[in-house]
Amino acid sequence: MKYQKFPTTIETFGKKFRLAIETFVYLQQKTNKKTARMITKTILKQVIYEQRRKSSGTIVTRQIDAKQTDCPEVLVISGVRRCGKSTLLQQIRNSRKECDYSINFDDERLIHFTVDDFQILSEVFMEEFGPQTTYYLDEVQNIVGWERYVSRLYSSGAKVFVTGSNANLLSRELGTFLTGRHVTHTLYPFSFGEFITARGITIARDTMYTTEGRASLYRLFVEYLHTGGFPQYVFSNNDNYLSALYNDIIYKDVLVRNNLTNERQIKELMFYLTSNIGHRFTFNSLAKQTGIKSADTAKAYFTYIESTYLIGQLNKFDYSSGIQLRSPKKSYCIDNAIINKIGFNATENIGSLLENAVYIELMRRGGELFYFAGKGECDFIVRHGIKVTKAIQVTVTMDDEKTRKRELTGLAEAMRAFSLKKGTI
């Protein structure tokens, strides 16, 4: 009998031994993690005061509706990395009496900051600056559970401004604790008008009506089509900065955040999309063109990139949402500088750059954007609510009769489809 029980005894002992080892390792990791992520008041004070010293007056005033900044709801400023969200937040701070409760979470010293540390942060704010009811939380999506803290602040009567660079995270988190308690402002890189201001040029009212003025504007616009509107790149024209920005978005916001390792496929997907601005695609065709194993994987990768605001997709307009989902899409990029940096022969394709610039401007102005396809095609359809309000074609020139006929035919068809009296080319 002893020999019959011996194997069971050994097996039981082995299980208990493994369990003991696993428990020890788990507790050790938990202890190390707790120690490593400890956030102290001293660290928070260093971060807050050093960030305050770096803050400076804005060079280009970004446009935002005063109704959004003055409303009682939480204001969420979202957009791609380095498009100027922190500058806009600073601009808002400069315009308000209470401006001290401010911190940027995109700081390596806060890498272990958790939702539990918000209470310590509140205590530091109070100790250093006295009681205030206005909070400025920059790149807050880096902190898991941030929406709970912001919801608590809102419930206590505080006005809160937050910024973030991930559309999916923000929408998911805002939809839990902050439904009906927030308004969103999407910030884009510089518009053409802001680009001109950044260049230190003042445009007079009569500029468009003089030969010299029109020629000057044309030169500036061609430069804008190639340089894009990322503020730091506009000021420095440093290609290394642009490369670093693009890699930061791909590595930090796409690969690391989504636990991906296949960098090559992600970059090949971006290369294909930026080389085919405004062209129709399906996720099956994306998978085939880029070597991605399936349409579902291609769709997932596209969604990850889209959530960083780096690219956006345009659906075909149809009153049936099912047909919209099944129809081919078009893709556009958040800024022409990225197209020029990574796309194929983008600098020679002025038509794609112009169409992309129009897409960005239409997105900046608001409304839902689609493309129209019937017998012909119209590049952009703008809908506000349930009503289509605009039909827009984009072309560099209509000197060629074939091009002119194509553009006019597609526009006229769209105007008839939506009973529009006016269209734009």
425 residues of the chain, pLDDT tens digit each: 443 443 445 444 554 555 455 455 445 544 444 444 589 999 999 999 999 988 655 579 999 999 999 999 999 999 999 999 999 999 999 999 999 999 999 999 999 999 999 999 999 999 999 999 999 999 998 899 999 999 999 999 999 999 999 887 778 788 888 999 999 999 999 999 999 999 999 888 888 899 999 999 999 999 999 999 999 999 999 999 999 999 999 999 999 999 999 999 999 999 999 999 999 999 999 999 999 999 999 999 999 999 999 999 999 999 999 999 999 999 999 999 999 999 876 456 899 999 999 999 999 999 999 999 999 999 999 999 999 999 999 999 999 999 999 999 999 999 999 999 999 99
* Eight-class DSSP state of 332: E
Q: Are 341 and 333 in contact (CB under 8 A)?
A: no
Q: How far apart are CA 162 and CA 154, in angstroms?
A: 12
Q: Is 210 buried (19+), middle (13-18) or exposed (0-12) by CB count in 10 A?
A: exposed
pLDDT of 32 reads 45
Among the listed residues 62, 64, 51, the one whose alpha carbon sits nearest the alpha carbon of residue 84: 62
The CA angle 366-89-67, to the nearest 5 degrees, is 50
Q: How far apart are CA 156 and CA 152, in angstroms?
A: 6
The 3-state DSSP class for residue 3 equals: helix
pLDDT of 49 reads 97
* Eight-class DSSP state of 62: P
Return the number of other C-beta atoms located less than 10 Å from residue 336's C-beta. 27
Instruction: At 23, list the tokens.
Output: 């428990």
pLDDT of 339 reads 94
Number of residues in the chain: 425
pLDDT of 208 reads 85
pLDDT of 127 reads 98
Instruction: At 16, list the tokens.
Output: 């208990």
The 3-state DSSP class for residue 176 equals: helix
CA distances to 35, 252, 293, 308 from 274, rounded to whole Å, are 45, 20, 20, 15
DSSP labels, 222-280:
HHHHHH---HHHHHH--HHHHHHHHHHIIIIIIIITTT---HHHHHHHHHHHHHSTT-E
pLDDT of 204 reads 86
